Structure 1
Amino acid sequence: MCTHTPACPTADSPDHEAAIVVAGHPEQGWSLLCNGVLLFEDTGELLPDGRVIAPHRHLTVVA
Protein backbone atom coordinates (compact mmCIF):
# COMPACT_ATOMS: atom_id res chain seq x y z
CA MET A 1 0.00 0.00 0.00
CA CYS A 2 2.87 2.39 0.82
CA THR A 3 4.47 4.32 -2.05
CA HIS A 4 7.04 6.18 0.08
CA THR A 5 10.78 5.81 -0.40
CA PRO A 6 12.01 4.18 1.73
CA ALA A 7 8.87 2.18 2.27
CA CYS A 8 7.03 2.50 5.57
CA PRO A 9 6.78 -0.55 7.85
CA THR A 10 4.01 -2.97 6.95
CA ALA A 11 1.00 -3.49 9.20
CA ASP A 12 2.58 -6.78 10.39
CA SER A 13 5.90 -5.18 11.37
CA PRO A 14 6.65 -4.58 15.05
CA ASP A 15 7.24 -0.88 14.23
CA HIS A 16 4.05 -0.45 12.17
CA GLU A 17 3.12 2.71 14.11
CA ALA A 18 6.07 4.49 12.44
CA ALA A 19 4.25 4.60 9.08
CA ILE A 20 3.27 7.99 7.66
CA VAL A 21 -0.16 9.43 8.46
CA VAL A 22 -2.23 9.75 5.26
CA ALA A 23 -5.46 10.92 6.90
CA GLY A 24 -5.45 12.53 10.32
CA HIS A 25 -8.60 13.35 12.23
CA PRO A 26 -7.45 14.49 15.69
CA GLU A 27 -10.88 16.00 16.37
CA GLN A 28 -12.29 12.46 16.10
CA GLY A 29 -9.31 10.81 17.79
CA TRP A 30 -7.89 8.68 14.95
CA SER A 31 -5.37 8.61 12.13
CA LEU A 32 -5.01 6.35 9.09
CA LEU A 33 -1.45 5.27 8.38
CA CYS A 34 -0.20 4.48 4.88
CA ASN A 35 0.09 0.79 5.81
CA GLY A 36 -3.67 0.64 6.44
CA VAL A 37 -3.51 0.75 10.24
CA LEU A 38 -6.07 2.90 12.04
CA LEU A 39 -4.35 4.41 15.06
CA PHE A 40 -6.52 5.84 17.84
CA GLU A 41 -5.49 8.53 20.31
CA ASP A 42 -5.91 6.10 23.22
CA THR A 43 -3.14 4.02 21.50
CA GLY A 44 -5.59 1.34 20.39
CA GLU A 45 -5.28 0.12 16.81
CA LEU A 46 -7.31 -1.56 14.10
CA LEU A 47 -5.20 -3.51 11.62
CA PRO A 48 -6.18 -3.89 7.95
CA ASP A 49 -7.06 -7.56 8.45
CA GLY A 50 -9.58 -6.63 11.17
CA ARG A 51 -7.45 -7.53 14.20
CA VAL A 52 -7.73 -5.18 17.15
CA ILE A 53 -4.81 -4.11 19.31
CA ALA A 54 -5.99 -2.89 22.70
CA PRO A 55 -4.73 0.46 24.00
CA HIS A 56 -1.21 0.11 25.31
CA ARG A 57 -0.40 3.37 27.04
CA HIS A 58 2.39 3.46 29.57
CA LEU A 59 1.10 4.01 33.07
CA THR A 60 2.22 7.24 34.68
CA VAL A 61 2.80 7.10 38.40
CA VAL A 62 2.07 10.34 40.24
CA ALA A 63 3.79 10.68 43.58
Structure 2
Amino acid sequence: MCPHDPACPPADALDREAARTLACHPEQGWSLLCNGVVLFEDTGELLPSGAVIAPHRPLPAAI
Protein backbone atom coordinates (compact mmCIF):
# COMPACT_ATOMS: atom_id res chain seq x y z
CA MET A 1 0.00 0.00 0.00
CA CYS A 2 1.05 3.55 -0.65
CA PRO A 3 2.53 5.32 2.40
CA HIS A 4 2.02 8.81 0.95
CA ASP A 5 -0.58 11.31 2.13
CA PRO A 6 -2.63 11.76 0.05
CA ALA A 7 -2.26 8.26 -1.36
CA CYS A 8 -0.98 7.78 -4.90
CA PRO A 9 -3.53 6.67 -7.51
CA PRO A 10 -3.83 2.88 -7.80
CA ALA A 11 -2.41 1.02 -10.80
CA ASP A 12 -5.87 0.52 -12.32
CA ALA A 13 -6.80 4.24 -12.19
CA LEU A 14 -6.70 6.42 -15.30
CA ASP A 15 -4.28 8.81 -13.56
CA ARG A 16 -1.90 5.99 -12.46
CA GLU A 17 1.08 7.89 -13.93
CA ALA A 18 0.65 10.55 -11.22
CA ALA A 19 2.02 8.17 -8.57
CA ARG A 20 5.39 9.04 -7.05
CA THR A 21 8.57 7.55 -8.46
CA LEU A 22 10.28 4.97 -6.21
CA ALA A 23 13.13 4.00 -8.53
CA CYS A 24 14.36 5.76 -11.65
CA HIS A 25 16.71 4.17 -14.19
CA PRO A 26 16.98 6.64 -17.10
CA GLU A 27 20.02 4.78 -18.47
CA GLN A 28 17.71 1.79 -18.98
CA GLY A 29 14.63 3.83 -19.89
CA TRP A 30 12.23 2.96 -17.07
CA SER A 31 10.92 4.04 -13.68
CA LEU A 32 9.03 2.21 -10.94
CA LEU A 33 6.08 4.10 -9.50
CA CYS A 34 4.68 3.79 -5.98
CA ASN A 35 1.61 1.93 -7.25
CA GLY A 36 3.75 -0.82 -8.82
CA VAL A 37 3.54 0.46 -12.40
CA VAL A 38 6.72 0.31 -14.48
CA LEU A 39 6.73 3.38 -16.70
CA PHE A 40 8.93 3.32 -19.81
CA GLU A 41 10.42 6.42 -21.45
CA ASP A 42 8.46 5.72 -24.66
CA THR A 43 5.31 6.17 -22.46
CA GLY A 44 4.48 2.46 -22.45
CA GLU A 45 3.57 0.89 -19.11
CA LEU A 46 3.66 -2.48 -17.41
CA LEU A 47 1.00 -2.87 -14.72
CA PRO A 48 1.47 -5.02 -11.60
CA SER A 49 -1.12 -7.45 -13.01
CA GLY A 50 1.15 -8.07 -16.01
CA ALA A 51 -1.04 -6.07 -18.38
CA VAL A 52 0.77 -3.95 -20.94
CA ILE A 53 -0.27 -0.41 -21.87
CA ALA A 54 1.02 0.55 -25.31
CA PRO A 55 2.92 3.83 -25.73
CA HIS A 56 0.44 6.70 -25.84
CA ARG A 57 2.14 9.89 -26.90
CA PRO A 58 -0.16 12.81 -27.71
CA LEU A 59 -0.64 13.64 -31.36
CA PRO A 60 1.11 16.79 -32.62
CA ALA A 61 -1.07 19.89 -32.88
CA ALA A 62 -2.42 20.70 -36.33
CA ILE A 63 -0.75 23.65 -38.02
TM-score, normalised on structure 1?
Answer: 0.91
Q: Give the C-alpha shift of residue 58 in structure 1.
A: 1.6
**Cα separation, 1, equivalents of 2:49 and 2:13:** 13
Q: Give the C-alpha shift of residue 51 in structure 1.
A: 0.1
Unaligned 5+ runs, structure 1 = none
Q: Give the C-alpha shift of residue 36 in structure 1.
A: 0.1
Paired residue type of 2:45: E
Runs of 4+ in 1 over 4 A off after TM superposition: none
Q: Give the C-alpha shift of residue 33 in structure 1.
A: 0.1
Q: Give the C-alpha shift of residue 60 in structure 1.
A: 2.9
Q: Give the C-alpha shift of residue 6 in structure 1.
A: 0.5
Partner of 2:57: 57
Partner of 2:33: 33
Deviations 1:25-52 (A, max 9, x none): 0111000000000000000000000000
Paired residue type of 1:31: S
